[in-house]
A and B are shown apart, each in its own frame.
Chain A
Amino acid sequence: DAKTTQPNSMESNEEEPVHLPCNHSTISGTDYIHWYRQLPSQGPEYVIHGLTSNVNNRMASLAIAEDRKSSTLILHRATLRDAAVYYCILRVNGNNRLAFGKGNQVVVIP
């Protein structure tokens, strides 16, 4: 599984945007970039995914670097409910597996 690198943890103030970085320098041309988050004592929740272009949905935006070696998940206005571990995962084309790394623990400060 191709590797991703994320900060161990980040803090954000409530109501402010949060930018969560992810490095994936060994990404191949057909790997999709997926983001999931896990709230305490719950299963992971899908957030967003993309291949080359930036993506927006109701939860977040995903900005993908032109060389695809890094990406940034953007939460536009952090709420206390956004406090979770965020996982950046590369999904290999033709492979259903998701390999979870340690993720980025996001703390939202009221």
Chain B
Amino acid sequence: GAVVSQHPSRVICKSGTSVKIECRSLDFQATTMFWYRQFPKQSLMLMATSNEGSKATYEQGVEKDKFLINHASLTLSTLTVTSAHPEDSSFYICSASSAEVPSNQPQHFGDGTRLSIL
């Protein structure tokens, strides 16, 4: 089946550091990639939607200058958390979709990145 690879799986770093998370579709061309954030005991919250070659669309309340998204190719999207602070500590998950008829196709998710800011 389709595979989405997310890297790194875990990051621990100091406050003020910028952290880049990669999301790759391994066996299909992902025209759209999504970034979610999940706090403990809560559901996934969509942060932004990115389409290859264009600017990401951010959900209300998500700072685009804080969470930089790049989707330069059909197989790679990156999320950079700039100047991370402890409140940015969370589980970040990407997903990818290649569907022309999106509602009839599943989305494929990465295994997530656990970000801990000290």
Interfacial residues, chain A to chain B (CB-CB below 8 A) = 30-32, 34, 36, 38, 41-46, 49, 51, 87, 91-103
Contact = CB atoms under 8 A, between A and B. Distances in A.
Given A97-B49, A100-B43, A102-B43, A45 B109 contact: yes
B110 A98 contact: no
Interface string B57-83: 000000000000000000000000000
Interface residues of B, number: 28
Contacts, number: 66
B111 A46 contact: no
A44 B99 contact: no
Main secondary structure of the interface of B (DSSP, over half): strand
Contacts of B103: 30-32, 91-95
Contacts of A32: 103-104
Question: Most B CB atoms within 10 A — which of A92, A93, A96?
Answer: A96
B102 A96 contact: yes
Contacts of A98: 34, 46, 95, 107
B44 interface: yes
B97 interface: yes
B52 to A, nearest CB: 13
9 contacts: A41-B112, A42-B112, A43-B4, A44-B95, A49-B106, A96-B34, A96-B107, A97-B46, A99-B46
